[in-house]
Structures are given as structure tokens and as C-alpha cells.
Chain A
Amino acid sequence: MGVHVIKLPDVGEGVAEAELVEWMVKPGDNVMEDQVLAAVMTDKATVEIPSPVIGKVTWLGAKAGEIVAVGSPIVKLDVDGAGNAKDEDVAPAKEKPAAKAAPAPKAEPKPAPKVEAPKAAPKAVAAAPAASASKPPRKEGEKPLASPAVRKRAADAGVDLRRVPGTGPAGRITHEDLDAYFDHGAAAPAGRARAADTSVKEIPVIGLRRKIAEKMAVSRSRIPDIVYVDEVDMTALEDLRAKLNTEKKPDQAKLTVLPFLMRVMAKAIQDQPQVNSLFDDEAGVVKQYGGIHIGVAAQTDGGLVVPVVRHVEARGLWECAAEVARLADAAKKGSATREELSGSTITITSLGALGGIVTTPVINHPEVAIVGVNKMQVRPHWDGTAFVPRRMMNLSCAFDHRIIDGWNAAVFVQRVKTLLENPAMIFIED
């Protein structure tokens, strides 16, 4: 019998660490070759770690939610034969990969999140067992579990036990739970029917949510942004879009506003190429890209992801539509690959019908511009002689003011506006 140590493999170019989001095995499990052991999350994609050998799990190197450096041992297996472990690997793992508290900033390709990460990681880990120990909430219609004394005390106080979270075994409501409920509920004594809900649910910020939190924090704390809002008359484009959708071939994806906007951006970027850049503020370099890779923020059950339509400058309207539909579907199903979820140079954020009048989009660091699409609605528009109903839509765009001057930002948005309002111009070759 020997010990086979499995280390976190290189899960993507330039990735130095990954978050362990889920274990598929536990110590004592027998695993087959190629059986999935764990899922780790890199930047925004989830990668499954298979077992290279047959064996029995004896040790797991991290808890779900912990950050693991590439090359750290994550699983030890008892295997027939010699195994691959050297002595220092088998010896009690003092260097827990997760407790990688001091990541050397220079070793990190993306040093930005590291400022807070070392402290945040152990904290999130500590919260995880506490959250799993407090029982899941009661199922719908299930009677609250409580001793007769607790039931009587609640009844005397006019408290419906169904509203009281139970922290005891099997979700039993204890006197302490009632105390906690009274302490917070006492402020509203009249609220028999509307008793205050004082429950606090601890949700560990792990996985995709942590990635989102980190990226948003970086963006907001480091980028001095300028937000520019203008309104666009979409009437002509909407007429064209409706016409195209009725005439489209069966194999073509239905056109939304997005592919038009992508084509418009590709055209506007020709005049303002600096908005299609990544700013490495550590190195002090702006990389202005020739290719236009537009990230499209998409809501999924797990949270926000940004699939990327590559080389929009080389795609036609219908191709853009097809690619957006394909990526949105993959993102929702969770099957989007790491490549499909990274590498954007500029981003569109749209909440569709929920778009509101104005938003203040957060720039997708290290990009320098983001185009926010607001709700389209019929508004009265003064055409010089009378008010006429027009389909109006606002664009809320944010720019990294360190790189993009207000004038450039305005010119870019005005160009986008002109093109959207005169859709024929989109299709005229320069």
C-alpha cells in the first residue's frame, strides 16, 4: 500500500490559485480512476478535478470555500503499490494550502484582490461549519419542534413558533431561541400577526459570489469613473428589428437589441479605440486591443457571470445574435468554459425590462468602459412642432477617467447614439 498525493493541477493559464467550491468525495470513500474528486473555481469558471488513480481517500487538504494554490496537495489516496508520495508530503500537512496567509504579491499575476484576501479567506472558512451546524430551515408545513415548556411560553407570549428559528438538534426550538426572539421582537409588542422576524441567516460568501464581491470591490475602490447618460430614440431601430425578425430564416436566432448595440459599438470604437482597452495600473500600461471582445453581463441562478463574444469586429449582425444566444444558454446551464467567461475588452450590462431610467454600471476591471442599457419605453418627444410618441431608451455608460477623458467618453456615446438612431448607418461600410 502506498500513498498517492493529488495536487491542484494548473487549471488555466495564469491561474495561481483556485477556490475549492465543492468536494465530491470524503475520507473513507473508494474512488475510481477519472472519478471527479472536487470542483474548484478559478476566475469565473468551475473546473472538475478527476482522480488519476484508483484508491481510497484518506485526507482532504481544504474545506469548501478555501483558496488553494496551484501545486498544493489537496487529496491523499491509499493506493495499491508504491504511490507517488515523498516523505514530506505524507507527514502531517503543516502547511495547510488554504492557510496560505501571505501570498507574495509579486508572484500573483492579478495582485489586486490580495490586499484583503488573506484575512477574508480564513474568516469565510470559519463561518462555513457554523452555518452547516445550524439546521436548515424547516420544510414547508412541518411542525416546529419544541418541548412543551417552550410551546407554553411561546403561546403565553402570543408567539407563533413557526416564526422562531430553532438552533437545537433537528431544528428544535430551545428556550434560548425564544429568548433571542423576545429580545429582538420585544420592540413590536403589538405585532402578534406581524411579529418581527429577528432571524439572521449566515450565508458564507464563497464561490461565484466571492469572485463577484472581489471584482466589484476592486473596480469601485481603484477606478475613478465617470458616468455619462444620454437618451436614444430607438424607434427606427425597433422598426428595423421587427421587420428583420419577421423576415428571418428559420435557422437564425431572434434579434434582440444587443447584437445591434454590439455592431454599433464596434463601429464607434473605430473612432475611439481607447475605450476598447485593458489598463494594467500596476505596470502603468494601457493595452489597446484591435479585436473587440464584448462581455455581456448575464444573470444566472448562481449570480452574475460575463460570457464574452469574441471579435465582434469580424462578426455580422446575425452571427452576433447567434453567439449571444449560445453563450447566454451556456452561462445559464453552467456549462460555459473558462475561455468563454474571460478575455473581454469592453462590457455591456443590460437588465432588459428591469433596466430602470439610469444605472451606474461598475466597470469590469481591468477594462476601461462599460455600456449600460436602460429600459426602453414610449416617451413624448418634441420634434420641433409637436410632441410625438417615440420609443426612447437611455444609455448609462461608465469610463475609467484615468484613461478616458470626459470629452472622449461623450464623443463615444454620441457616436453610439447617432448610429442607433440611424440604423442604416450601421451597415454602410466606411
Chain B
Amino acid sequence: MTELTCNVLVIGGGPGGYVAGIRAGQLGLDTIVVDAEALGGTCLNVGCIPSKAVIHAADEFEKATHFANSSALGISAGKPKLDLSKTVAWKDGIVKRLTTGVGGLLKKNKVRTIKGWATFIDGKTVDVKTADGVQRIRAGNVIIATGSVPVELPFMAFGGNVISSTGALTLDAPPKNFAIVGAGYIGLELGIAFAKFGSKVTVVEAMDRILPTYDAELTKPVAKRLKDLGVTVILGAKAKGLSKDGKALEIEQNGKSESIPADKVLVTVGRKPLTEGWGRENIAIEMDGRHVKIDERCLTSMSGVYAIGDVTGEPMLAHRAMAQGEMVAEIIAGHNRRWDKVAIPAICFTDPEILSCGLSPEEAKAAGYAVKTANFPFMANGRAMTMEAEDGFVRAVAREEDHLLLGLQAVGRGVSEMSAAFGLALEMGARLEDVAGTIHAHPTQGEALQEAALKALGHALHI
């Protein structure tokens, strides 16, 4: 087979890789994107998008269930039924539309895509194992965008009743007893969804609280909701493995063993950068712990070889990968770019949702700032009341000396959509006065953001 040559070779077609491809194409660079699976990576195929589809379906089902009993709204309905395989098919339809769309966008920008597994031969040469044999590609620049994979527990490998998040998104019926190992955002998002579908969910977490990467104040409303939904949360406990009959999860808490009945066990103990299997040993790039080391231009230790997305470590978020991909394409096109972002919003699509952007009060203090913080509760927000969504709050963190916003956080129903406002405020370098002085439409939950800023300034209006 003849060799292919290109200016930019992107290994991995996830949100980082395909965005790098589109932008490189827009800039007129001769570009190839390689991926062994469908375009869109974890995010589109087995991550962000399908999980949100399942969460939406779970929310709708729970609503219907709620109306089957008595509701304060005066609505009553019959007992709902769930056909999860149909839900999954609907979700797959969305995924299909999006991944096809990504292919179309790449094509529109004259980017070639090759389906196959890429392995580095040297820093400028990659062999791609395709259905038709090995295709050698020589490239001026290579972007490593191989992403990440779920961490597997050595004593409880994926397979059979032990599933990863990918497996949870293709179940054809909710498990009667559903055990989840790990109370991070993936475990809780799916755990809450399946609790709404009717599973008896038990979450086992080794740390002493849920969502350990978020500050405790933000996670409290989620803990309360888990309780309301009948989810059992066992903290400070270690999963030891499946029982002999495979029908229960063995755990150990405070030295005592316990057995939790489980038709399925979902293991969500984190994700790790995919740094093996693509010939990293054939090129001399440095690592930084378990991820590929990059500089502020996403350049690895090897000239002409860039890395973006989850393979470069935390935070492993699709929108970070996209921003890196766009930046690297522009750098290769000769633009003067470097990573200068102020904040990367992070969202936990639990019920209620958690949104964090910039520094938490503790992080700001640890960074040496004297800070002003204020929480505005949704309990005092009219729109939240009309949506039966009074749990949660918006929090503003600002530098005391000049009121520069350092962080914005929220927990509450649908707060994920506030991430645009939070991100914009921080990226623009807004001060408390800027947010407080912006008219926020009434009645919306967004008013809580303005009120939090006002409260930090000492004159909140509605509390």
C-alpha cells in the first residue's frame, strides 16, 4: 500500500481530535484524523451525550411516576411503564446523528478520516491498522488525542455482571439491585438515573463523602436528594469483589465485611489517560505521572508532536480538549497561541446539578487571596419555586481588594446552563460590580447569580 503524507495527523477522533481536525481544515492544512471506532470518541459515543440522554429519560420517567401518586401540582396520571431497550435505541439514534454530523463537518473542511488503530513508528510516521491492511502515514505534525479509559479494579475486571459506564448505557432493563463502586460524578449521575428507573441502588465510596473532588457545601443538596430517592450510600467502605455466586458485591467497612445484593455492579472509580498501545515506546516523549507531559502550547517533549485532551491529564473534560484542539491547529498554522484560559467549568449532572467554575473559596484562600464569598439560595428565587427546584444556591467568590471574580459555583436544578454565564464572567475578568450591574431577566434562576454578587457586595435585594 502506498504511503500517505499530510501536514497534520490527528490520532483520535474524540472532541479534542475532531475539533483540531476541523480547525486545521479551516486553516487550509492538509489533515488526516484517525480513529479505530466511530468519530466523537468517548464523549459522543459512550460518555457525555448518551449519559445525558439516559438521565433525561430517567427524569421524565420519575416525573411520570411522581404523577402516578398524588402531586402538589394537581396532576395525576396512570402508572408509567418503561421499555429501557427503546430508551437505549432512542439514545443511540442521537449518538448516530451526532457522530455522522462530525464526519460531515470534517469532510466539509476537506479533512480525510481513516478508520483504524494507529501506532507510532517514529515521531513523524504512524502505521494505521485498517480493515484493508496497514496504512503508513507520514506527517509534518502529529496531534495525540487518544483520550482516556475507565479504570478497572484488578480484583473485579469488567465483564459479566461487572460493567463500566459504557455497559450501563446499553442495559436493556434496569437491574433490580444495582451496586455502584465509586461516588464520583459518573457513578452518581448513573446511580441517580437508575434509581429513577426503579433500581434499588447502593453506592459504595472509599472516601468519607460523595463527590470528593467538589467542596462539601456543594455536594450537600445532592446527598439529600440521594436519600429522598432511596439510594443507599455507604461511605468509607472498600469494594472487595463479587460474591461466589456473582449475585452480590462484597465490601469492607470499618473492618467489617458486608454483602450487598447486586444483579449488576457498575465500577466507576475514575478514568485514566490512554497512554499505552499506540507506540508511545517508539517515540521519545516525556510523561508527567500517568499522563503525557505538555507545555502551554500543548507541545510534548518532541518537536512537532502535540497532545491534547484526556491523555494530557486532569481535568479530563471534553470542552478542555476542544479548546486545546482548536489552539493546536492554530499553532501549527503559525498563529501565536498559548493556553491562557482563566477557567474551565466543570459540571456534575446529578440531581440536583453541580456547576463549578474557577476557584472555590478554599482554593482561592490557598492561592493566597483574601476573599469575599456569598451564597444566594434558590429558596429565595421565584423561578426556582415555580419549578419545585428550591434546593441549592449560587456562590460567588471574589478577591477582596478589587472584587475580581475568582470563582462561581452553583448547585441546583438545571444549573448546568448557567455555565455559559459563569465562564463568560470569569474569562472577561468581571468584578462583582459587573455581574451585579448586569440586568438578569426575571423570572429566571439566573437572577441568583446577580443576587450572589450583590450579596457579596453587601446589598442583596431579595434576601
Q: Which residues of A contact B433 (CB under 8 A)?
A: 169
B79 at the interface (CB under 8 A from A): no
Q: What sequence of 0s and 1s flags, for each residue 394-429 of chain B, a beta carbon within 8 Å of any chain A beta carbon? A: 000001001110000000000000000000000111
B427 touches A148 (CB 8 A): yes
Q: Which residues of B contact A148 (CB under 8 A)?
A: 427-428
Q: Which residues of A contact B281 (CB under 8 A)?
A: none
CB closest chain-A residue, reference B338: A155
CB closest chain-A residue, reference B399: A170
What is the CB-to-nearest-CB distance from A190 to chain B, in angstroms, rounded to a whole number?
Answer: 15
B337 at the interface (CB under 8 A from A): yes
Majority secondary structure, B binding face: loop
A172-B338 contact in complex given A135-B402, A145-B404, C-beta closer than 8 Å: no
Q: Which of A135, A147, A155, A156 contacts B429 (CB 8 A)?
A: A147
Q: Which residues of A contact B97 (CB under 8 A)?
A: none
A171 at the interface (CB under 8 A from B): yes
**CA A147 to CA B403, docked complex, whole Å:** 17
What is the CB-to-nearest-CB distance from A135 to chain B, in angstroms, rounded to a whole number?
Answer: 7
A2 at the interface (CB under 8 A from B): no
**CA A150 to CA B463, docked complex, whole Å:** 37
B335 at the interface (CB under 8 A from A): yes
A146-B429 contact in complex given A169-B434, A170-B403, C-beta closer than 8 Å: yes
A156-B336 contact in complex given A145-B429, A148-B427, A169-B431, C-beta closer than 8 Å: yes
A147-B427 contact in complex given A169-B402, A170-B404, C-beta closer than 8 Å: yes
Q: Which residues of A contact B404 (CB under 8 A)?
A: 145, 170
Q: Which of B282-340 contact A (CB under 8 A)?
A: 335-338, 340
**CA A170 to CA B342, docked complex, whole Å:** 15
B428 touches A147 (CB 8 A): yes
Q: Which residues of B contact A135 (CB under 8 A)?
A: 402
A155-B336 contact in complex given A147-B427, A148-B427, A169-B434, C-beta closer than 8 Å: yes
Q: Which residues of B contact A4 (CB under 8 A)?
A: none
A151 touches B340 (CB 8 A): yes
**CA A146 to CA B428, docked complex, whole Å:** 6
CB closest chain-B residue, reference A169: B431
B428 touches A156 (CB 8 A): no
Q: Which residues of A contact B338 (CB under 8 A)?
A: 155
Q: Which residues of A contact B402 (CB under 8 A)?
A: 135, 169-171
Q: Which of A145, A155, A172 contacts B337 (CB 8 A)?
A: A155
**CA A155 to CA B296, docked complex, whole Å:** 14
What is the CB-to-nearest-CB distance from B370 to chain A, in angstroms, rounded to a whole number?
Answer: 13
Q: Which residues of B contact A170 (CB under 8 A)?
A: 399, 402-404, 429, 431
Total chain A interface residues with beta-carbon distance under 8 A: 14
What is the CB-to-nearest-CB distance from B129 to chain A, in angstroms, rounded to a whole number?
Answer: 39
**CA A239 to CA B32, docked complex, whole Å:** 85
What is the CB-to-nearest-CB distance from A157 to chain B, in angstroms, rounded to a whole number?
Answer: 8
Q: What sequence of 0s and 1s flags, for each residue 123-151 of chain A, a beta carbon within 8 Å of any chain B beta carbon? A: 00000000000010000000001111001
Q: Which residues of B contact A168 (CB under 8 A)?
A: 429
What is the CB-to-nearest-CB distance from A46 to chain B, in angstroms, rounded to a whole number?
Answer: 28
What is the CB-to-nearest-CB distance from B357 to chain A, in angstroms, rounded to a whole number?
Answer: 15
Q: Which residues of A contact B335 (CB under 8 A)?
A: 155-156
Q: Which residues of B contact A169 (CB under 8 A)?
A: 402, 431, 433-434
Q: Which residues of B contact A172 (CB under 8 A)?
A: 429
CB closest chain-B residue, reference A149: B428
A158 at the interface (CB under 8 A from B): yes
Q: Which residues of A contact B428 (CB under 8 A)?
A: 147-148
**CA A168 to CA B428, docked complex, whole Å:** 11
**CA A205 to CA B347, docked complex, whole Å:** 53
**CA A146 to CA B340, docked complex, whole Å:** 10
**CA A172 to CA B405, docked complex, whole Å:** 12
Q: Which residues of B contact A156 (CB under 8 A)?
A: 335-336
Q: Which residues of B contact A146 (CB under 8 A)?
A: 429
CB closest chain-B residue, reference A148: B427
**CA A172 to CA B429, docked complex, whole Å:** 7
CB closest chain-B residue, reference A151: B340
**CA A80 to CA B402, docked complex, whole Å:** 37
**CA A370 to CA B399, docked complex, whole Å:** 53
What is the CB-to-nearest-CB distance from A167 to chain B, in angstroms, rounded to a whole number?
Answer: 13
Q: Which residues of A contact B336 (CB under 8 A)?
A: 155-156, 158
**CA A421 to CA B29, docked complex, whole Å:** 83
Q: Which has the most chain A C-beta neighbours within 10 Å: B336, B337, B434?
A: B336
**CA A155 to CA B427, docked complex, whole Å:** 16
**CA A170 to CA B335, docked complex, whole Å:** 29
Q: Which has the most chain B C-beta neighbours within 10 Å: A135, A169, A170?
A: A170
CB closest chain-A residue, reference B428: A147
**CA A168 to CA B433, docked complex, whole Å:** 13
**CA A24 to CA B272, docked complex, whole Å:** 58
What is the CB-to-nearest-CB distance from B124 to chain A, in angstroms, rounded to a whole number?
Answer: 27
CB closest chain-B residue, reference A154: B336
Q: What sequence of 0s and 1s flags, for each residue 149-192 of chain A, a beta carbon within 8 Å of any chain B beta carbon? A: 00100011010000000001111100000000000000000000
10 residue pairs bridging A and B, Cβ less than 8 Å apart:
A147-B428, A155-B335, A156-B336, A168-B429, A169-B402, A169-B431, A170-B399, A170-B402, A171-B402, A172-B429
10 nearest A-B residue pairs (beta carbon): A145-B429, A170-B402, A170-B404, A155-B336, A172-B429, A147-B428, A169-B431, A151-B340, A170-B431, A148-B427
Add 17 more A-B contacts to A155-B337, A170-B404 (CB < 8 A): A145-B404, A145-B429, A147-B427, A147-B429, A148-B428, A155-B335, A155-B338, A155-B340, A156-B335, A156-B336, A158-B336, A169-B434, A170-B403, A170-B429, A170-B431, A171-B402, A172-B429
